[in-house]
């Protein structure tokens, strides 16, 4: 009986021991499986040269073999060395900057330096008689317009028309009035002259080279000179009464000046001066300008003559004398 109990107890102990061993083995295998599932697989060495689409912007020493790299990683070291040689060409210096030539704007309306091929100008101002001309003429007004060709930003040529208007000195008119009365001049009513008026003008066609010696975003300066044909006229008038007819109101009298004497003179002349410009906008070619020129006209002198002493009539020889004046003008250039 006692032997049977001992056998049963031994069997129970063996079962317990087997169960403990089985559970221990099961736990160890589960722990191993968990550790294995969290470990990444080893990858092959990366070739930077083959995988980089563009070179990385890294300093040269960042790609060179460093002391903290493992000496066993020979494949990685070799790849990094190749990438270092690929990125750091020419001794580690960046590539030279590409040089671009100046832009070329040359077309039918623009020069190669960006300036307009064609230029236009228009303006007006006042005239100052100088020299002998100021002895018989007074300050007047003027207008001018023209156009031409720009060969570059500096140099161009203008073809220009100018009209310069003047008045007469009071002493000049009084002197002529006495001459006309001495010669028996009368008005339309047969009366002696009491009042004399008159004007003078010079119109011209010239060719004027222009040189822009200074230019900025807003301001500019230029010199201009030219030569051409000048036509000078002196016209003397007396007060008169005229008749004006209107289809609705009929005819009626008006006060009108009557020309009693006129002189003309054609001559070659030259001009020269200086001007400044102001650009209205950086995106526009329009410029305001102000300029002053000196004009010299080589009129040929004609002597004094009247119907009593000679076979021609010229009581105003000043119109054929050399003419000098300074026109000051303001306007716009394109």
Model confidence pLDDT, tens digit, residues 37-70: 444 444 455 554 455 454 555 555 544 444 444 4
Instruction: Over range 304-330, report the average pLDDT.
Output: 90
Full domain range(s) for residue 238: 118-333
pLDDT computed for residue 283 by the predictor: 79
| Sign of the torsion angle spanned by Cα atoms 282, 287, 292, 297 | positive
Residue 302 forms part of a structural domain: yes
Q: Is the pTM of this model over 0.85?
A: no
Residue 39 forms part of a structural domain: no
pLDDT computed for residue 251 by the predictor: 83
Model confidence pLDDT, tens digit, residues 270-279: 999 999 999 9
Model confidence pLDDT, tens digit, residues 70-88: 444 555 555 555 555 555 5
Tracing tokens 């004007």 back to the chain, one arrives at 199
Model confidence pLDDT, tens digit, residues 110-142: 888 778 899 999 999 999 999 999 999 999 999
Residue 293 forms part of a structural domain: yes
DSSP 186-246: B-TTSPBP---EEEEEEEEEEEEEEEEEEE-SSEEEEEEEEEEEEEEEEEEEEEEEEEEEE
Residue 111 forms part of a structural domain: no
Split at pLDDT 50, 70, 90, the class of 190 is: confident
For position 162, which CATH number holds? 2.40.160.20
How many domains is the chain partitioned into structurally? 1
Polymer length in residues for the chain: 334
How far apart, in whole angstroms, are the C-alpha atoms of residue 110 and residue 17?
A: 107
Model confidence pLDDT, tens digit, residues 195-247: 999 999 999 999 999 999 998 889 999 999 999 999 999 999 998 877 778 77
Residue 170 forms part of a structural domain: yes
Split at pLDDT 50, 70, 90, the class of 34 is: very low
Residue 249 forms part of a structural domain: yes
Residue 216 forms part of a structural domain: yes
Residue 80 forms part of a structural domain: no
Percent of the chain's residues with pLDDT above 90? 49
Nearest alpha carbon to residue 196 among 212, 184, 178: 178
Percent of the chain's residues with pLDDT above 70? 68
């Amino acid at each position: 009986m006692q032997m049977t109990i001992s056998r049963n107890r031994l069997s129970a102990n063996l079962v317990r021991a087997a169960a403990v061993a089985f559970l221990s083995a099961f736990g160890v295998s589960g722990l191993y499986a968990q550790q294995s599932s969290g470990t990444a697989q080893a990858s092959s060495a990366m070739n930077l040269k083959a995988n980089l689409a563009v070179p990385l912007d890294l300093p040269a020493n960042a790609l060179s073999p460093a002391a903290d790299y493992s000496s066993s990683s020979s494949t990685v070291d070799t790849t990094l060395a190749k990438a270092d040689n690929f990125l750091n060409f020419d001794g580690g210096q960046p590539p030279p900057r590409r040089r671009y030539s100046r832009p070329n704007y040359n077309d039918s309306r623009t020069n190669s330096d960006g300036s307009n091929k064609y230029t236009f100008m228009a303006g007006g101002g006042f005239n100052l008689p100088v020299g002998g001309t100021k002895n018989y003429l007074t300050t007047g007004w003027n207008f001018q317009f023209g156009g031409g060709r720009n060969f570059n930003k500096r140099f161009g040529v203008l073809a220009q028309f100018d009209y310069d208007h003047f008045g007469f000195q009071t002493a000049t008119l009084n002197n002529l009035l006495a001459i006309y009365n001495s010669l028996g001049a009368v008005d339309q009513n047969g009366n002696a002259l009491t009042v004399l008026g008159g004007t003078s003008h010079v119109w011209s066609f010239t060719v004027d080279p222009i040189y822009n010696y200074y230019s900025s975003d807003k301001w500019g300066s230029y010199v201009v000179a030219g030569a051409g044909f000048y036509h000078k006229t002196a016209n003397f008038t007396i007060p008169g009464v005229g008749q004006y007819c209107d289809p609705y109101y009929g005819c009626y009298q008006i006060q009108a000046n009557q020309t009693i004497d006129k002189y003309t003179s054609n001559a070659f002349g030259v001009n020269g001066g200086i001007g400044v410009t102001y650009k209205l906008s950086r995106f526009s070619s329009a410029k305001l300008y102000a300029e002053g020129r000196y004009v010299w006209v080589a009129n040929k002198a004609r002597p004094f003559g009247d119907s009593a002493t000679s076979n021609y009539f010229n009581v105003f020889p000043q119109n054929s004398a050399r003419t000098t004046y300074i026109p000051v003008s303001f306007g716009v250039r394109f």
